[in-house]
Amino acid sequence: MEHHTMNLTLKVWRQKNSSDSGHFETYDVKDISSEMSFLEMFDVLNERLIAEGKDPIAFDHDCREGICGMCSMYINGRPHGPWHANTTCQLHMRAYKDGDTIVVEPWRAKSFPVIKDLVVDRTAFDRIIQAGGYISVNTGNAVDANSIPIEKDKADLAFANAACIGCGACVAACKNSSAMLFVSAKVSHLALLPQGDPERKSRVINMIAQMDKEGFGGCTNTGACEAVCPKEISITNIARLNNEYIKAGLTVDK
C-alpha cells in the first residue's frame, strides 16, 4: 500500500475531571503516516505531551480491533469519524490529508457524563441490560442445543442485532441523545429467538423504563443512529422495539 505522511491540526476537548468545565486545546501533529490508526496518532501526540511535561489526553480504548466497543471519539462532527460502519480504533489516517484540522470531542449526553478529557461514563448501558437484557437460565439448566431448531433467517437477524458493541455512538449521534437503537438491538436479539419468549413482555417494559430513568431521550426516527452505528444495526429494530413495547404494554395483566 502506498503511504505518505501528513501534518495536521487537532482541536481536542480537555477536561480535568467531571466537575471541571473543560475547553478545547489545539495541537499541531507532524509526520503522521497514512498507515497509522487514528488512536496511534493520539499515542504519538501523547508521547510528545509527556516528553514536554504536559498531561496526556485521556481516551477510552482497549481491543483496537473494532469489537470491544470501548473507543468513543466524536471526530469532526461524527461518532467514530468519517468512515462508514467503523470504530475510532479502526479509522486510519488514510482518511485525512495534509493540512487537515480535526476536532475531537467526547460523546455528549447527560446520561454519559464526561469523566476526563474524552472519557465518558457509559455504565447506564449496563444498568439497562440489568433491567432485562438477558434470558433467565441458570447454568446447568439447558436442554440439548439442537432440540430447538431456529429458522436460519431469524437466527441470522438475531445475530445481526446481537452484534451491537455497546459503544454508545447511537446516543452520541442522536439529536435527542436517545438510547433506543441500543435497547432495540438487545430487545430484537432476544425477541427473535424462541429462548427469549418467556420474558418477552417484562424485558421490553423494564428495559424501556430503565432507559427513561437514565435520562436518555425519546426516538424521533431521524436515523442518525443507524448512519453512524459501527455494526450497522438497523433502525428497523426500533420499529420492532415499538411493536414489542406496545404489544406488551397493552396485554400485560398487571
Partner 1 sequence: MLNAKIPGGPLDQKWTYYKGHCNLVNPANKRKLEVIIIGTGLAGASAAASLGELGYKVKAFCFQDSPRRAHSIAAQGGINAAKNYQNDGDSVFRLFYDTIKGGDYRAREGNVHRLAEVSANIIDQCVAQGVPFAREYGGLLSNRSFGGTQVQRTFYAAGQTGQQLLIGAYQALERQVALGNVKMYSRHEMLDIVMIDGKARGIIARNLVTGELERHFGHAVLLCSGGYGNVFYLSTNAMGSNVTAAWKAHKKGAYFGNPCFTQIHPTCIPVSGDHQSKLTLMSESLRNDGRIWVPKQKGDTRKPNEIPEEERDYYLERRYPAFGNLVPRDVASRAAKERCDAGYGVGSSRQAVYLDYAKAIERYGLGECSKLGIEDPTPEQVREHGVNVVKEKYGNLFDMYEKITGENPYEVPMRIYPAVHYTMGGLWVDYELMTNVPGLYALGEANFSDHGANRLGASALMQGLADGYFVIPYTIGNYLSNDIRTAAIPTSHQAFVDTEKAVQDRIDRLMNIKGAKTVESFHKRLGKIMWDKCGMARNAAGLQEAIEEIRQLKKEFWSNLRIPGGIKEMNPELDKANRVADFIELGELMCIDALQRNESCGGHFREESQTEEGEAKRDDNNFQYVAAWELKGEGNWELHREDLVFEVAKPSQRSYK
Partner 2 sequence: MKWSEFFTSSIGKKLVMALTGVFLISFLVVHAGINACIFADLFDPNDNGEMFNRAAHFMGSSVVIRIMEVGLFIGFIIHIVQGFAVEAKNLGRRGKGYQVNLGNKGSKWYSRTMGLFGTLLFLFLVMHISQFWYASRIAHDLPEASYDPLQHDLFSRMVEVFSHPFIVVLYVLGCFSLAWHLMHGFQSAFRTLGVHNNRYLHLIRGFGIGFSILIPVLFALMPVSIYFGWIGQD
Enumerate residues 59-78 that contact partner 2 by CB under 8 A. Answer: 74, 76-78
Give the footprint of partner 1 on residues 9-38 (CB under 8 A). 16-17, 33, 35-37
Instruction: Select from 62, 110, 148, 154 the one that contacts partner 2 (CB under 8 A).
Output: 110
Distances (CA, A) of 100 to 8, 56, 94, 112, 205: 5, 22, 12, 29, 46
**Does residue number 190 form part of the binding site for partner 1 (CB under 8 A)?**
yes
Segment near partner 1 (CB under 8 A); pick from 123-131, 176-184, 214-222, 238-246: 123-131
Which does residue 92 touch among partner 2, partner 1, none (CB within 5 to 8 A, set by kind)?
Answer: partner 1
Nearest by Cα to 75 from 30, 11, 167: 11
**Does residue number 115 form part of the binding site for partner 1 (CB under 8 A)?**
yes
Give min distance, CB of 82 to partner 2, in A: 8
CA distance 113 to 18: 7
Q: How many CA atoms lie within 13 A of 209 on its CB side?
A: 11
Distances (CA, A) of 52 to 49, 59, 93, 170: 5, 19, 24, 36
AA letter at 114: V
Provide the total of helices (H) and of strands (E) in the chain, helices listed first: 8, 7
**Footprint of partner 2 (CB under 8 A):** 11, 13, 22, 24, 74, 76-79, 103, 105, 108-111, 173, 175-178, 180, 205, 208-209, 211-212, 215-225, 227-228, 235-250, 252, 254
